[in-house]
Amino acid sequence: MDYYGKKIGSLIEELSALPGIGIKTAQRLAFYIVNMPKERAEALAFAITDAKNNVHYCKECFTLTDRELCPICSSEKRNHRQIMVVENVRDLAAYEKTGEYNGVYHVLHGAISPMLGIGPEDIKLKELMKRLQSDTDEVIIATNSGLEGETTAMYISRLIKPTGIKVTRIASGIPVGGDLENTDEVTLKRALDARTEI
């Protein structure tokens, strides 16, 4: 049943199509937007269309940017000889929030998944191998620890090892605050293998 009319209904429908936005959240957002001052609503609409028209992949690492090179790739303060390979832009953002990593990134835009029909040619692996032709000391593989992430990590490792470049994998194990009894065997094994001296 149409409670609000076509315009609000259309706005709710578009908002609910966004990932992680259910119908109730879409309704709240729609009502908020409709009640915004006109200038703020226009600024929001402009920001969306401006980003859509001007944001593209960095030509070096393939993260999203509005420049030719993203701020990370263009920074002289970063270690360009160390490349962390991540599955998506959100993973890059997560590592940047730690403030602990000073190298550069390579965003694959996916992971190898034969079940989903995603092969090595469907992600940014050729581009990674091309980057490695310049001076690189280490490639840190930071794909997720699920089946697809592990498959991707192994594939990348096999590609890079013959070049002589050091290949490492991020450690994974027990999350802070996690209970051992509720942790799966693979995670427990990883935690044991990646143990450090205290």
> 82 and 25, same structural domain?
no
| Distance (Å, whole) CA 169 – CA 150 | 10
CATH number, position 45: 1.10.8.420
Residue 166's H or E segment, with its range, is strand 166-169
Residue 151: CB atoms within 10 A of its CB come to 17
Q: By residue range, what is the domain housing residue 15? A: 6-54
> 86 and 175, same structural domain?
yes
| Distance (Å, whole) CA 9 – CA 27 | 9
> Alpha-carbon Rg of the chain, whole angstroms?
21
Residue 94: CB atoms within 10 A of its CB come to 12
Question: Is there a domain that residue 95 lies in?
Answer: yes
- What is the number of domains present in the chain? 2
> 184 and 105, same structural domain?
yes
Structure-token pair, residue 169: 């994998």
Question: Is there a domain that residue 196 lies in?
Answer: no
Render each residue's pLDDT in the chain as its tens digit; 198 residues: 467 778 999 999 999 999 999 999 999 999 999 999 999 999 999 999 999 999 999 999 999 999 999 999 999 999 999 999 999 999 999 989 988 899 999 999 999 998 999 999 999 999 999 999 989 999 999 998 888 988 999 999 999 999 999 999 888 776 767 666 777 777 777 777 776 665
Q: How far apart are the first and last CA of the chain?
A: 63
